[in-house]
Amino acid sequence: MEINKEKIINIFKISISAIISIFIALELGLEHSISAGIVTILTIQPTKKETIKTAFGRFIAYIVSLILAFFSFKLFGFGYIGFALFIIFYVLVCVLFNWINAISINAVLVSHILVSGNMNYQTIKNETLIFIIGAGIGIIANLHLKKNVFYIEELKEKNDLQIKEILFGMSKRILEKDEIEDNFEAFMELKKSIRKAKNVAEENYNNQLLRNDIYDIEYIKMRDNQCHMLYQMYKTVIKLKTTPITAEKISKFLEEMAKTYHKDNTGKELLEKFYEIDKSMKSKPLPIVREEFEDRAKLFMLLRYIEEFIQIKVEFSERKF
């Protein structure tokens, strides 16, 4: 398994945070202080929002665990039967409310109450402080996380470059039948790159606490939608067997699309040019040869895909973020 710089930093961060939690619990004279470090380890998540959401969810589950423990121990005493009933009902509640990740740590905290043999103010205070210290240090440990602006821009540019290359390839294939007979691998690489960019965009979003900037997420989604349409265009182009009179104009337009394909291009000018080309295509005389007629029909379908491809970007550029 590859261990990169980010993973090493994460390991160091989690370890130091757990040690700090244990140290604070020890300084406060809390019993079972080691558990504070365990709470920290389980609280730290990949992003700020996930960490806070996890800590909050587990705290609610912790309150519920205290209530269930109170009734279980009150009715059946501080023994195996009381704890067994607590576990049964607590697991049931956690499953119903999707608190699965809270079961283990809160069960451990309640087991401390079981060992103490009483559930008074001092015992509850001890376990609650352990939870608060552990979860609090876990949240603080992730406050340094922020949006990785440069990396997401790099990934977006890579996506755009891959799409440009596919557009160039299709432009050539319309006129030269030996070009890109099978460029399926390029689409697989494009989908992989888009998936990676999507993951980074979502991670960046979850590392924002005071802002809800969804631009990058929506941008990647827009490119993904274009990718689906691009594949339909590609499947149409590779089926061409002849070079109809309309082929050259469409080829040049695809080349222009590739050259001007950029995140700052709204697509509006391209769409206007497209409508001009589309209108001129309809004025061309119908072919006599069947094979050319079929290819003209394919090119007509290609134009519809191109229109949708451009329209996706136009609609995105008109949105307010």
What does the H/E/C string look like for 118-173?
CCCHHHHHHHHHHHHHHHHHHHHHCCCCCCCHHHHHHHHHHHHHHHHHHHHHHHHH
Q: Which domains does the chain have, with CATH numbers?
A: 5-141 (no CATH), 149-317 (1.20.120.940)
C-alpha distance from residue 238 to each of 174, 176, 307 (Å): 8, 10, 19
Rounded to 10 degrees, what is the CA torsion of 174, 177, 178, 180? Answer: 40
Encoding tokens for residue 55? 């800590």
Which one-letter amino acid corresponds to residue 169?
Answer: G
Report pLDDT for 283: 65
Strands (E), 68-126: none
Of 6, 9, 8, 14, give the one whose Cα is nearest residue 138.
14
Q: What is the pLDDT of residue 22?
A: 95
Closest CA to 55 of 132, 145, 107, 143: 132
Residue 3 clears pLDDT 70, i.e. is over it: no
More confident residue, 130 or 146: 130
pTM: 0.73
What are the tens digits of pLDDT across the range 14-57? Answer: 899 999 999 999 999 999 999 999 999 988 888 888 888 889 99
Backbone angles phi and psi of 89, in degrees to 5: -70, -35
**Cβ neighbours of residue 297 under 8 Å, at least 6 residues apart?**
none
Mean pLDDT for the chain?
A: 87
Provide mean pLDDT across the span 98-126: 91
Q: What is the pLDDT of residues 48-76, one digit of tens each?
A: 888 888 899 999 999 999 999 999 998 99
The answer, yes or no, to whether residue 1 has pLDDT greater than 50, is no
Kindly report, residue by residue over 200-244, the tens digit of the pLDDT. 898 888 887 767 778 899 999 999 999 999 999 998 988 888 887
Task: Name the pLDDT band for 256 (thresholds 50, 70, 90).
Answer: very high
